[in-house]
């Protein structure tokens, strides 16, 4: 069984980051190890929350993992809550990466043109050197614009050619495979576009467009991509599975508008992930 370690926060309530990544990766047949980077009472979209930053624990925990000769087939990072944390994670990658380790970075920091609440304005300056270390990155359209220093516009204003150009430029920054999520293909369809530099191929993954923001779907998307890549799939296949799975999770949640910001009801769809591997 392949062992993935995922480094991201955990919220006591609210479905995102580790509480989404663990079940998804486990269902995709991965042994899922974790290194929690922060403990929150709820995710940051709730009105009031408290965060315990665990950045200063990363080196101590890593030292114990090393003593036990722990090795990982993949290192997958998600939401990171501070610039110090980015530096710790960068150190972790250098420490644990081996020749065949897949490094997947979801530069989770923004959505709908704005940075997540609580993150410093210069966060992207620290994120750029981190993505250099990745084999795969999975930004949404807002994060892709931030990484490229490009002005954000509404998703419908980007053409397929422009997104393809952005995929190439992001790959030039380091990662061999890039997925941009939250692409609008038409008034009623959306999905992701991906690029694989090893075969110079751009692929599109399309499904139904749903209105509104559903929190945590980016974390589910990246977890499905990571699991499917570890299963030996191409970035195009992995992205298609992630687009389809997120679409199913949104369908399950759509009936209850309060759930959008709480986190999608992925639980009732988890079994469907088995069809992807
Ligand atoms: O889904 C991204 C995410 C992860 N972790 C925390 C968040 C968010 C988005 O708001 O608040 C704590």
Per-block mean pLDDT, blocks of 10 residues, the chain (277 long): 98 97 98 97 92 95 98 97 94 98 97 92 97 98 98 96 98 98 96 98 97 92 98 98 98 83 93 97
Give me the pLDDT at residue 260, please: 72
For 3-40, give one letter per residue: b (16+ CB within 10 A) or e.
ebbbbbbbbeebbbbbbbbbbbbbbbebebbbbbbbeb
**Nearest C-alpha to atom 12 of ligand 1 is from which residue?**
43
**pLDDT for position 255:** 84
Q: What is the pLDDT of residue 95?
A: 98
Beta bridge partners of 3: 31
| Neighbouring residues of 5: CB distance < 8 A, sequence distance ≥ 6 | 33, 34, 35, 72, 74, 75, 76, 96
User: At the fourth CATH level, which superfamily is domain 3-276?
Assistant: Ribokinase (3.40.1190.20)
Label the pairing between strands 31-42 and 3-13.
parallel
The residue whose CA has the least distance to atom 2 of ligand 1 is: 216
pLDDT at position 258: 73
> Ligand 1: distance of its center to the CA of 222 in Å?
13
Q: How far is the CA of 116 from the CAs of 35, 46, 112, 206, 251, in angstroms?
A: 21, 12, 10, 26, 25
- Residue 247 is predicted with a pLDDT of 98
Question: Would you say the CB of residue 116 lies under 6 angstroms from ligand 1?
Answer: yes
**pTM of full prediction above 0.85:** yes
Q: Where are the beta strands (DSSP E) in 89-200?
A: 102-105, 110-111, 114-115, 136-137, 177-186, 189-196
Q: Which of 101, 108, 95 is CA-nearest to residue 20?
A: 108
- In this structure, the number of other CB atoms found within 10 A of the CB of residue 116 comes to 15
Strands 136-137 and 114-115: unpaired
- Ligand 1 contacts CB of residue 219 (under 6 A): yes
CA 146 to chain centre: 15
User: What is d(CA 139, CA 177) in angstroms, rounded to the nearest whole number?
Assistant: 12
Q: Which residues, other chains included, contact 183 with Cβ-Cβ below 8 Å and sequence gap of 6+?
A: 141, 155, 158, 163, 190, 191, 192, 193, 204
The whole-number pLDDT of residue 118 equals: 85
In short, whether 108's Cβ falls inside 6 Å of ligand 1 is yes
- Which residues have a Cβ under 8 Å from the Cβ of 128 and sit 6 or more positions away? 147, 173
132, 20, 134, 142: which is closest to 77 by C-alpha? 134
Residue 199 Cα distances to 55, 109, 134, 176, 177, angstroms: 37, 29, 18, 10, 10
**Residue 14 CA, ligand 1 centroid: distance in Å:** 9
252/261 Cα distance (integer angstroms): 14
Which numbered atom of ligand 1 lies nearest the CA of 219? 1
């Amino acid at each position: 069984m392949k062992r993935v370690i995922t480094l991201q926060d955990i919220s006591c309530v609210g479905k995102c980051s580790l509480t989404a990544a663990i079940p998804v990766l486990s269902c995709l047949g991965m042994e899922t190890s974790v290194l929690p980077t922060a403990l929150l009472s709820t995710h940051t979209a709730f009105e009031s929350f408290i965060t315990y930053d665990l950045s200063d624990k990363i080196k101590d925990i890593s030292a114990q993992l090393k003593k036990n000769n722990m090795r990982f087939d993949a290192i997958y990072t998600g939401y990171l809550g501070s610039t110090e944390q980015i530096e710790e994670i960068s150190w972790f990658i250098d420490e644990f990466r081996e020749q065949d380790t897949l490094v997947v970075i979801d530069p989770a920091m923004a959505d709908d043109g704005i940075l997540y609440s609580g993150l410093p304005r210069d966060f992207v300056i620290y994120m750029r050197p981190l993505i250099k270390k990745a084999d795969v990155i999975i930004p949404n359209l807002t994060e892709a614009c931030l990484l490229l220093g490009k002005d954000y516009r509404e998703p419908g204003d980007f053409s397929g050619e422009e997104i393809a150009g952005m995929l190439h430029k992001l790959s030039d920054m380091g990662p061999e495979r890039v997925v941009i999520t939250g692409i609008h293909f038409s008034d009623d369809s959306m999905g992701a576009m991906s690029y694989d530099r090893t075969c110079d191929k751009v692929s599109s993954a399309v499904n139904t467009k749903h209105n509104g923001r559903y929190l945590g779907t980016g974390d589910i998307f990246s977890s499905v991509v990571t699991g499917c890549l570890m299963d030996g799939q191409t970035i195009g296949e992995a992205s298609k599975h992630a687009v389809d799975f997120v679409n199913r999770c949104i369908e399950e949640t759509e009936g209850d508008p309060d759930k959008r910001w709480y986190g999608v009801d992925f639980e009732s769809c988890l079994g469907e992930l088995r069809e992807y591997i």
